[in-house]
A = this chain, B = another copy of it.
Amino acid sequence: MRVGIIGATGYGGAELLRLLNQHPHVQEVVLYTSSKEGMNIQESYPHVSNIYNQTLKSIDVTSIKDEVDTVFLATPPGVSAEWSGQIAEAGCRVIDLSGDLRLQNPEVYEKWYKREAAPLALINDAVYGLPEWNRESIQKAQIISNPGCYPTATLLGLAPLVKNKLIDVDSIIIDAKSGTSGAGRSPSAITHFSEMNENFKIYQINQHKHIPEIEQNLHQWDEQVQSITFQPHLVPMVRGIMATIYAKANQQISETELRDLYKEAYRNEYFVRIRPEGAYPATKEVYGSNYCDIGLTYDERTGRITVVSVIDNVVKGASGQAIQNFNLIHGFEEDTGLTLVPMYP
């Protein structure tokens, strides 16, 4: 299998390089760029010295068609909207890690992203790549829209509750915390080390682009769910997301029943691990891996459920999940190349 990456110099791209190197069915990786043609990847990433030696090529659909079978787009907004359709038409599978194709309603996209939506036909062709809850569609897809990092942690944490209608639909609050790698590789004031270390920040209050993505999926699972409260925060660490999810139970439920529900829901899921009673995951426990670890509790005093869901935002929240989808569309075992043990400490 030959794969291409558009956007290899960003963090999503770098992580694809790391993970694809372990993939037994990937023989060749070709790197494409819209702006850095001719640069050797080692100039951008010395850590791949002696491992990858590719020079970045310009994006050309005809060449891409000849050179690779699948293309990963780890690109800024707008690139996928422009290229994914053409690449797919040329016969390649496309796995888009950007947000361009995630929202089915272009108006919603334009409201939250404040830019023009991708062509509707392209959006309609794209399948939302959350394997645990969308596996069958993914297997048949030509174009995958890989979920956002926050939606991945949140949706895996909420799915059993929402699908089983166990909570008040307007009580959902997600207090999310992320490492800085989610903000990408471009230096900025907010992620300047001197401003971010020994600091904890809230950002994009009520405005994060992942809000409509979460709502869209919850609504598909239970059409009564309309809107949620989601507030993201930046943690002085590089990798990791914790979504602390609050919801009011709409009936008495014991913590054991709750845990059993989750265990059953994810019984066959290699990448979802439910913590035992009294235990809750920390982000480091999934560091560098494709796992989503979940802890649960029900507080009888308040009638409120708290779900703690953690992922590595660069892996299960981006490149790892992309490869999970890659495996699905090509009929490989779903965990191929993704069995890395979390790095601890």
Q: Which residues of A contact B (CB under 8 A)?
A: 11, 14, 17-18, 21-22, 45-51, 170, 173, 175, 177, 179-181, 183, 185, 187-189, 191-203, 205-206, 227-229, 231, 233, 235-240, 242, 244, 246, 270, 273, 275, 279-289, 291, 293, 295, 297, 299, 301-302, 304, 306, 308, 310, 339-345
Contacts and interface: CB of A to CB of B under 8 A. Distances in A.
Nearest to A175: B175
Given A185-B192, A242-B233, A302-B228, A281 B200 contact: no
The 7 A-B residue pairs with the shortest CB-CB distance, nearest first, are A187-B187, A175-B175, A199-B284, A47-B285, A194-B345, A18-B341, A47-B342
Contact of A236 (B197, B279, B304): B197
Given A192-B191, A273-B50, A341-B21, A237 B199 contact: yes
18 contacts: A18-B340, A18-B342, A18-B343, A21-B339, A47-B284, A47-B285, A49-B273, A49-B293, A50-B270, A175-B246, A185-B195, A198-B237, A198-B238, A198-B239, A199-B282, A200-B237, A201-B283, A205-B308
Contacts of A240: 198-200
Copies of this chain held together in the complex: 4
Contacts of A14: 344-345
B341 A343 contact: no
A229 B46 contact: no
DSSP class of A's interface residues: helix, strand, loop or mixed?
Answer: loop
B238 A235 contact: no
Contact of A238 (B197, B202, B206, B341): B197
Given A240-B199, A244-B231, A343-B18, A306 B206 contact: yes
User: A22, A45, A175, A339: which has the most chain B beta carbons within 10 Å?
Assistant: A175
A201 B237 CA distance: 12
User: A47, A183, A297: which has the most chain B beta carbons within 10 Å?
Assistant: A47
User: A192, A270, A297, A306: which has the most chain B beta carbons within 10 Å?
Assistant: A192
A286 B197 contact: no
Nearest to A197: B238
A179 B199 CA distance: 9
A297 B206 contact: yes
A284 B195 contact: yes
Given A233-B244, A301-B227, A344 B193 contact: no
A306 B227 contact: no
A200 B188 CA distance: 20
User: A170, A202, A287: which has the most chain B beta carbons within 10 Å?
Assistant: A202
A11 B343 CA distance: 10
A196 B185 CA distance: 12
A329 to B, nearest CB: 23
Contacts of A280: 201-203, 205
B206 A193 contact: no
A37 to B, nearest CB: 20
A202 B50 CA distance: 22
Given A246-B229, A297-B206, A302 B170 contact: yes
Contacts of A239: 198, 345
